[in-house]
Amino acid sequence: MFIHDTLLHRLKRGCETMAYPRGPAPPLPGRHGGALQVESSKCPDACRVCVPLCPTRAISRELGQAVALDMGRCVFCAACVEGCPQQAITQTGDHRMAVRRREDLLLGAPGQEQVRLAAALDAKLRKLFGRSLRLRQVSAGGCNACEADTNVLGTIGWDLGRFGIQFVASPRHADGLLITGPVSKAMELALKKTYDAVPEPKIVIAVGACAIAGGPFTGHPQVLDGAAAVVPVDLYIPGCPPHPLTILDGLLRLLGRLESGR
């Protein structure tokens, strides 16, 4: 009787896994403004209102130059958005933020108002990892927010395994690393050894502002300001923490699993 009731209940509930990416992406929650956009042409020459507002020094402006915003350092507090009198920095509501190169997260220069989204791995690596990717997650001194949003991808609503992507317990069984946290000095050797234990070829994914540039801990003497100080990084996914949709988009983009233009 119990088994019958359980099966009947599941049939009534139907499929709870989202259709994305075959269907539309779920909307970001209202408090999540998505990726930022910088229109430096709106900035008066002497305006630096937004610079001291940023808690992680993600915004800078040199004399005679355009305002520059580092999305890798950004913790998405929206202080600059609210404080800019010219509305030169705005939220786009776009969940897509992952990039392959660190410099693609630097906004403000002509032609660089938004991030340049990640390109897929080359054909050889896509052939190896495109249908089956195993990742070892390394928490390198973070607060567990990025780890929590990464774990969400394993729930029934997201079902990361349907894309052939899984997290494994041993780096020797992994194709690469997914790193969170600013990489504290206490974790430097552990991260290096974990990376060395992953067989070649391998990929490294830095998730969150801490893993990209130190986040709110940037410049602290006990952190290394991100994973790239220890290992080569193939994909950067900004956020504090990144929304699960942003993480999923980055992973699928890296594997060439998203349709062109999406």
Band (67; pLDDT cuts 50, 70, 90) = confident
**Per-domain boundaries in the chain:** 36-95, 123-254
How high is the pLDDT of residue 240?
95
Q: Is the pLDDT of residue 106 over 90?
A: yes
- Calculate the alpha carbon distances from 121 to 34, 202, 204, 243, 246 in Å: 25, 11, 12, 23, 18
For 195, the 3-state DSSP assignment is helix
d(CA 130, CA 204): 15
47 vs 77, more confident: 77
List the strands of the sheet with 165-167, edge to edge.
Answer: 165-167, 133-139, 176-180, 203-207, 235-237
- The dotted CATH code for 36-95 is 3.30.70.20
Amino acid at 222: Q
How high is the pLDDT of residue 253?
96
Amino acid at 191: L
The arithmetic mean of pLDDT across residues 104-111, rounded, is: 85
d(CA 209, CA 99): 13
How high is the pLDDT of residue 155?
93
What does the pLDDT look like over 229-259, one tens digit per residue? 999 999 999 999 999 999 999 999 999 988 6
What does the pLDDT look like over 130-172, one tens digit per residue? 889 999 999 999 999 999 999 999 999 999 999 999 999 999 9
Quickly name the fold that domain 123-254 has: Rossmann fold (3.40.50)
Relative orientation angle of helices 145-152 and 244-254, to the nearest 10 degrees: 70
* Residue (of 114, 48, 53) closest to 80 by Cα position: 53
Amino acid at 234: D
Contacts of 62 (CB under 8 A, 6+ apart): none
Q: What is the DSSP string of 49-61?
A: TTGGG-TT--EE-
How high is the pLDDT of residue 108?
87
Band (208; pLDDT cuts 50, 70, 90) = very high
Output phi, psi for 47, to 5 deg: -75, 125
Q: Is the pLDDT of residue 11 over 80?
A: no
The arithmetic mean of pLDDT across residues 80-103, rounded, is: 94
* CB of 168 closer than 8 Å to CB of 136: yes
* Burial of 20: CB neighbours in 10 Å, binned 0-12, 13-18, 19+: middle
d(CA 64, CA 222): 35
Torsion of CA 73, 236, 93, 56, to 10 degrees: -10
How high is the pLDDT of residue 95?
95
77-104 core/surface letters (b: 16 or more CB in 10 A; e: else): ebbbbeebeeebbbeeebbbbbbbebeb
How high is the pLDDT of residue 262?
45
Identical fold at 36-95 and 123-254? no
What does the pLDDT look like over 73-86, one tens digit per residue? 999 999 999 999 98
For 89, the 3-state DSSP assignment is strand
- % of the chain surpassing 90 pLDDT: 71
Q: Is the pLDDT of residue 5 over 80?
A: no
How high is the pLDDT of residue 260?
45
How high is the pLDDT of residue 261?
43
